[in-house]
Amino acid sequence: MLPLRNPQHFGCLLFHVDTMPLIKWKNHQTENIEVSLMLSALQQRYGYDFSGYARASLKRRLMALTQYFEVAHLTELIPAMLYDEAVAQTVINSISVPASEFFRDGAVWKAVREIVLPGLASFPRINIWQSGCGGGEETYTLAILLHEAGLAKRARIYSSDINPAFLDDARAGCWSRRHLDDWRENYRKSGGKQDFEQYFVARDGEICIREELKQSIEFIQHNLVTDQVFKEVQWVVCRNVLIYFGQELQDSVLHLLSRSLERGGYLLLGHAEKIMQLTEHYPDLEELDDQAQLYRKKVCMIRSKVHDHL
């Protein structure tokens, strides 16, 4: 028998267990526990850490999987996900959303034509890092812009994504024709003067980007959460990726992006991804166009106190 050092205390504990009310949980709060458990399983088994992602939309995407797999509760997917990599890939694909378009937000690319491209031309070499390339629509948008500005030969685009399946799609560079009207309209709004369709060839009922436009691009797997800066670049394009991150993760990723920029280099974020408290948190960056969310790494840091004392 266990020695009971304090029988009175023991009695007291029993009393508590008897009457302790089970906290009433609403279903949606219990689902939040399920989301955490899924993320933990995914992280321990496959190494992908989504714990810092913005919860509301992440939960919505995960809950949609219960319908897809026809299960009553999200956690029922954990065993399948742990033992079947195909299930895990489906889960990862549903967490990372590849949605993209050619020249999405036309006015933004107009600002790029007017501000970024002439600026880039002044650098001896032009390296561009596009993080979160999804299916490649935006990657080839960059290639077309460089081509039209006569910079394609001097530039290299490093396009990265966390999801290797998306990188394969992006490399292939083929899409359904049904997008063409929307993309042509976006292109026109960006100030494009050419015939947009000339950048594609028709193949098996799809449109595929011309091989010439692939030449300056390298696709690489890179995870913004766990991987480091891999190159100093003159332009970072990271659009509609930060919205998927929670505040803390967003901060650390913004610092990573800013570190990889050469001084005078440009940072382009998604149309609705405004950097809050820019001057306090990112003294190295300045805003060039708040409609386009276009920033620049300052050419030289303002010398502070030390300078004043001299």
Ligand X SMILES: C[S@@+](CC[C@H](N)C(=O)[O-])C[C@H]1O[C@@H](n2cnc3c(N)ncnc32)[C@H](O)[C@@H]1O
Q: E-strand spans in 116-230?
A: 126-131, 155-161, 174-176, 200-203, 206-209, 217-221
- Cβ 150 vs Cβ 126: under 8 Å: no
Position 99 contacts ligand X (CB under 6 A): yes
Distance CA(219)–CA(159), nearest Å, equals 5
Q: At its nearest, how many Å lie between other proteins and the CB of residue 141? A: 15
Q: Which of 156, 174, 223, 298 binds ligand X (CB under 6 A)?
A: 223
Position 258 contacts ligand X (CB under 6 A): no
* Interacting residues of 87 by C-beta distance below 8 A, sequence separation 6+: 69, 77, 80, 81
User: With CB under 8 A as the contact rule, which of the stretches 40-48, 165-173, 199-207, 244-252 interacts with other proteins?
Assistant: 244-252
Position 190 contacts ligand X (CB under 6 A): no
Among ligand X, other proteins, none, what does residue 173 contact (CB within 5–8 Å per kind)? none
Q: Which of 12, 276, 299, 301 binds other proteins (CB under 8 A)?
A: 276
Note the helical H segments in 212-284. Answer: 247-259, 278-281
- Cβ 103 vs Cβ 131: under 8 Å: no
Sign of CA dihedral 52, 55, 59, 60: negative
Position 51 contacts ligand X (CB under 6 A): no
Q: Extract the tokens encoding 56.
A: 């509301």
For other proteins, the closer CB: 125 or 281: 281
- Site residues (CB under 6 A) for ligand X, limited to 156-175: 161-163, 166
Q: Which of 41, 74, 116, 241 binds ligand X (CB under 6 A)?
A: 241
Burial 204-218 (b: 16+ CB within 10 A, else e): eeebebbeebbebbe
Q: How many residues does the chain have?
A: 310
For ligand X, the closer CB: 40 or 154: 40
Q: Give the per-residue contact string, 21-50, with other proteins (x = CB under 8 A; - = no).
A: -----x-x----------------------
Cβ burial of 103 (10 Å; 0-12, 13-18, 19+) is buried
Number of residues that bind ligand X (CB under 6 A): 22
Position 47 contacts ligand X (CB under 6 A): no
Position 239 contacts ligand X (CB under 6 A): yes
Distance CA(293)–CA(273), nearest Å, equals 7
Position 229 contacts ligand X (CB under 6 A): no
CA count, 13 A, side-chain hemisphere, 258:
21
For other proteins, the closer CB: 90 or 119: 90
- Site residues (CB under 8 A) for other proteins, limited to 90-129: 97, 99, 104-105
Q: Which of 234, 240, 260, 293 binds ligand X (CB under 6 A)?
A: 240
Distance CA(248)–CA(55), nearest Å, equals 13
Q: Where along the sequence are the contacts to other proteins (CB under 8 A)?
A: 26, 28, 54-57, 60-61, 97, 99, 104-105, 240, 242-244, 246-247, 250, 270-274, 276
Q: Where along the sequence are the contacts to ligand X (CB under 6 A)?
A: 96-100, 104, 131-132, 134, 138, 161-163, 166, 223-225, 239-241, 244, 270
